[in-house]
Chain A
Amino acid sequence: MEPIIVFENVHFSYPGDEKESLHGIDLSIARGSFVAVLGQNGSGKSTLAKHMNAILVPDEGRVLVDGIDTADESRILDVRRRVGMVFQNPDNQIVANVVEDDVAFAPENLGVEPKEIRHRVDSSLRLVGMYEHRMHAPHLLSGGQKQRVAIAGVIAMTPEIIVLDEPTAMLDPQGRREVVDTAFALCRGRGMTVVLITHHMEECIDADRVLILSKGRLTADGRPEEIFADKALLEREGLEQPETARLLRELREAGMRLPGEALKIGDCADQIAQALQAEERSRSSWQKSSPKS
């Protein structure tokens, strides 16, 4: 697959900080993929995210977005237009008093024609399911709704990549679902590249790829099934194995035949049910045949 974001040996430390926040990151993200980034507080996740749209630029190494070097100041708007960022605190990224005016903010900054802005604002709000609320005041919306407005606000730039930096950390479970579902819909339905940074493992299970960041280094990179099956790795990173993966592993250790990995509740239940039925069948056929002998 064609890479759309490339990190080449990226080092970064904040001014006045002795320790490096990013410690030689090499990473290539494929166009149209859904990449989840896990890591503890202070692991450098947000710093990584901020390198993707030139809010921060590397001290050493380079970051290419769609082939553009983010350190090239003359092309900074080209980078930012391609990479939409959604942040943790919904209140601190909404600039306007009315939902639709907020969504219009980025295209206005880019000097888009008024008619085209109107069109983009309406379609972005429909895409995240907030069109009905376009005339509302943002501070009266729920956390999940605010984050969806923030997503609409970056979609209106027609970006190719959306980077969500812990967008669900301050939300309740319902708001979390709203935001994660929206992110997946953008990737699967619209072909956008999505980078989701999160603490919540259950938000990663449908991703194409999971990265784990620890002390400024990438310590794991793989499909969610691989990462979450690796108990030792998760323990080392201070992460708990998802219930589904843990149950399958422990049942297997107890001698059940469970060939595949499954992270979703439904898939996991299917596997266990099938395994139990298979055992039942083999037992009954064994019981049928045994009296003869």
Chain B
Amino acid sequence: MAEIITEKLSHVYSAGTPFESTALHDVSISIPQGQFAAVIGHTGSGKSTFIQHLNALLQPTEGRVLLDGQDINNDKYTRRDVKWKVGLVFQYPEYQLFEETVYKDIAFGPSNMKLSKEEIDERVREAAAFTGVSEELFERSPLELSGGQKRRIAIAGVIAMRPEILILDEPTAGLDPAGCAQIFENIRSYREKSGATVLIVSHSMDDVARLAERIIVFDRGTVVMDDTPASVFSRAKELMEIGLNVPKAAELAVALRDRGIGLPEGIFTHERLLAALLQLREGRKC
């Protein structure tokens, strides 16, 4: 099944002009089928450029992107077909809605795939169910709905292509906490039921810590860390130095260690922090 690999991927914007800038440099990464990975890094770290290479929206200046061993940039047909397999949800995707009805908008992707009417219908309903878009909204205009609803419709529009790899660029930006929680729940359920690989770009470290199996950290166009959340967040101080947030629990753990509390490594969720503190107390009592 779908494994995506980048080999020595580099990208230079506006090459040969005074505005030339290297956005990615020598990125080699392999993401196996079914993984839930998070990409983090501050604005301009190259993470957005990176994800746009995975479905051939951008072509590498150097290096290759392989999906199941095949170069996705082989020719214009592979470049187009990869869009079905690798679904990319942009930041603020609600601004891409354009159809008269919610149903038609979700169906836009599958229609471009030239599927049968029945197949499209099935996929639209399935995608709407995943993202919690009620079928009662199908005939409404997407433009008159609330921001959170629009965002879920836009995500459904990508899920309706049944991508094997789903990439989301800051899917919760600008939403309130309840809206964020709902989107993350939608993504989790899609992954669980479809077995798809999920790659998520997020600034919300507490959510990343809770959901991802792997964290890839970008800084100035290169990958500086690539490991499990436990290992990455155990380097909380380094992350803070390159201007990134860490989960509040990890930040607290660092602060407690600074105050001479002997907490073990690898604490990045609330549950672990609480358990470690209580254990420490028990240990001292004995």
Contacts and interface: CB of A to CB of B under 8 A. Distances in A.
Contact of A247 (B43, B146, B252, B258): B252
A49 to B, nearest CB: 16
A247 B285 CA distance: 20
Contact of A40 (B176, B255, B256): B176
Interface string A266-292: 101110110010011001000000000
Interface stretch (B62-70, B75-83, B189-197, B241-249): B241-249
Interface stretch (A17-25, A51-59, A172-180): A172-180
Nearest to A202: B248
Contact of A272 (B146, B251, B277, B284): B277
A97 interface: no
B214 interface: no
Interface string B175-190: 1111100000000000
Size category of the binding interface on chain B:
35 or more
A77 interface: no
A174 B56 CA distance: 30
Contacts of A273: 256, 259-261
A223 interface: no
Contact of B285 (A88, A266, A283): A283
B256 A41 contact: no
Nearest to A172: B43
B176 A41 contact: yes
Contact of A41 (B43, B146, B281): B146
A68 interface: no
A252 to B, nearest CB: 12
A250 interface: yes
B258 A269 contact: yes
A248 B174 CA distance: 29
A215 B206 CA distance: 28
B42 interface: yes
A282 B67 CA distance: 62
A243 interface: yes
A283 B284 contact: yes
Nearest to B45: A172
B125 interface: no
B129 interface: no
Given A40-B178, A238-B176, A247 B255 contact: no
A238 B248 CA distance: 19
B274 interface: yes
A133 interface: no
Interface residues of A, number: 38
A42 to B, nearest CB: 7
A41 B270 contact: no
Contact of A269 (B43, B244, B252, B274): B252
A202 B206 CA distance: 13
B34 interface: no
Nearest to A142: B43
A276 B281 CA distance: 7
B142 to A, nearest CB: 17
Interface string B136-152: 00000000001110000
A172 B176 contact: no
Given A174-B43, A265-B252, A239 B177 contact: yes
Contacts of A240: 177
Contacts of B162: none
B256 A199 contact: no
A266 B255 contact: yes
A199 B176 contact: yes
Contacts of B44: 142
A254 interface: yes
List of 5 A-B pairs having minimum Cβ-Cβ separation, nearest first:
A243-B248, A269-B255, A273-B259, A238-B178, A169-B174
7 contacts: A142-B43, A169-B174, A242-B248, A266-B255, A268-B252, A272-B277, A276-B281
